[in-house]
A and B are shown apart, each in its own frame.
Chain A
Amino acid sequence: MTTHDNKPAIRAFLAQYFGEHRLADDADIFATGLVNSLFVMQLVLFVEGEFGMAVEDDDLEMENFSSVDAIDALITRKRSAAVSR
């Protein structure tokens, strides 16, 4: 498993929802007031589909999805866990 940059794909996904608001990588997505259940579901499905991983119930906490950086960290953490298993 080579390391590669997850952030462009995450940014591109978020841009569909946040359009003109260019979010900084460390900006809190949940603080924008634009988050709803449909968006959250799409976000989780995107992470699972784009990066080929199952998001566990225990991963579904706000701090894991609150920013580009947080999502990137979650993916990286899950990848390394999968490799070391």
Chain B
Amino acid sequence: MTKSTPTVGVVGAGVMGTGLAQALATTGHEVILVDRSEDVLASAERSIEQGLRLARLLGAKGPREDRGTVLKRISCTTDYEGFERADFVIENVTEDWETKRSVYERIDPLCPPHCVFAANTSVIPVTRIAGATSRPDRVVGMHFMNPVPLKHTVEVIRGHHTSDETLRAAARLLAGMGKEQVVVQDSPGFVSNRVLMLTVNEAMYLVHEGVATAAEVDRIFKTCFGHPMGPLETADLIGLDTILQSVEGLYQAFSDSKYRPCPLLRRMVDAGLLGRKSGEGFFSYAITRP
């Protein structure tokens, strides 16, 4: 890698991709944001602009860089235009193997040989992703937490073939974004999701069985353990559809019944109650007028 700040392709302009593009552009990286849908890209641009606007209220320090200057570093495309210049690609498409595989098959021939692919996944094995490319040594997992601009640590996953050089490149990129990493081995759900998803799923069973209300479950975690957010509030923030996919992913990966999704979770996803992004999940996020 010759450039001091790598050019980064960000695939998928959902919540994670949007947060990533903002965090990368704020730290001086050129970003190529790609999504299948023009509408999604347009709304990503709006949220990035909003995110930059609100940065000060969220504790951003230092001089305020002109929003226009930061936004100019981000180019949006639906057809991977510019990926031949990418030093790094961070993929954030939905946690579905077929969807992910089609992305890697598309970008592998487009990107330069030195380009590292980072899968922002929380559940799909990095080694499997690497197998869909011609550069398994240059594929690494980077599990970013939401909201990306505010979270200082990233779970980095070493796949079976991931080289030391790739891990160093990943560490450099993250350091350039002002973030630290914890490197773990490739195992379904890694560390974070294996514990978190099971916790959240079990919290849902408690609500499902009528043992406690969602608010009571969360209060116990917040006031007894000092967690800033309870498990169900966390689930609403992540998105219940993503939680369901993750729990199902663990279930398939381990063939272990302890990862069976709570029926209430399934019902809520079927009902379109996805958490904060839909305005209602275990809690309501609608603004009620006094």
Q: What is A's interface to B at a CB cutoff of 8 Å?
A: 8-9, 11-13, 16, 33-38, 40-42, 44, 46, 57, 60-62, 65
Contact = CB atoms under 8 A, between A and B. Distances in A.
Nearest to A56: B53
Given A12-B290, A13-B290, A36 B147 contact: yes
A57 B53 CA distance: 6
Given A60-B53, A60-B54, A62-B57, A9 B287 contact: no
Contacts of A40: 54, 57-58
A34 B228 CA distance: 7
Nearest to A16: B288
Contact of A9 (B56, B59, B290): B290
Nearest to A43: B57
Contacts of A13: 287, 290
Interface string B253-290: 00000000000000000000000100000000101111
B56 A62 contact: yes
Contacts of A65: 57
Given A8-B290, A37-B54, A41-B50, 20 more contacts: A9-B290, A16-B288, A35-B58, A36-B147, A37-B58, A37-B147, A37-B149, A37-B150, A40-B57, A41-B54, A42-B287, A44-B54, A57-B53, A57-B67, A60-B53, A60-B54, A60-B57, A61-B57, A62-B57, A62-B59
Contacts of B289: 12
Contact of B228 (A9, A33, A57, A60): A33
Contacts of B53: 44, 57, 60
Contacts of B59: 62
A61 B56 contact: yes
Interface of B: 50-51, 53-54, 56-59, 64, 67, 147, 149-150, 228, 237, 276, 285, 287-290
Nearest to B52: A57
Contacts of B147: 36-38
A53 to B, nearest CB: 15
A21 B8 CA distance: 43
A36 B150 contact: yes
Nearest to A65: B57
Given A12-B290, A13-B287, A41-B50, A60 B56 contact: yes
A57 B54 CA distance: 8
Contacts of A8: 290
B80 to A, nearest CB: 29
Nearest to B147: A37
23 contacts: A9-B290, A12-B289, A13-B287, A16-B288, A33-B228, A35-B58, A36-B58, A36-B147, A37-B58, A37-B150, A38-B285, A40-B54, A40-B57, A40-B58, A41-B50, A42-B287, A44-B54, A46-B287, A57-B67, A60-B53, A61-B56, A61-B57, A62-B57
A42 B53 CA distance: 13
Contacts of B54: 37, 40-41, 44, 60
Point out which of A11, A12, A41, A65 has the most chain B C-beta atoms below 10 A from its C-beta. A41
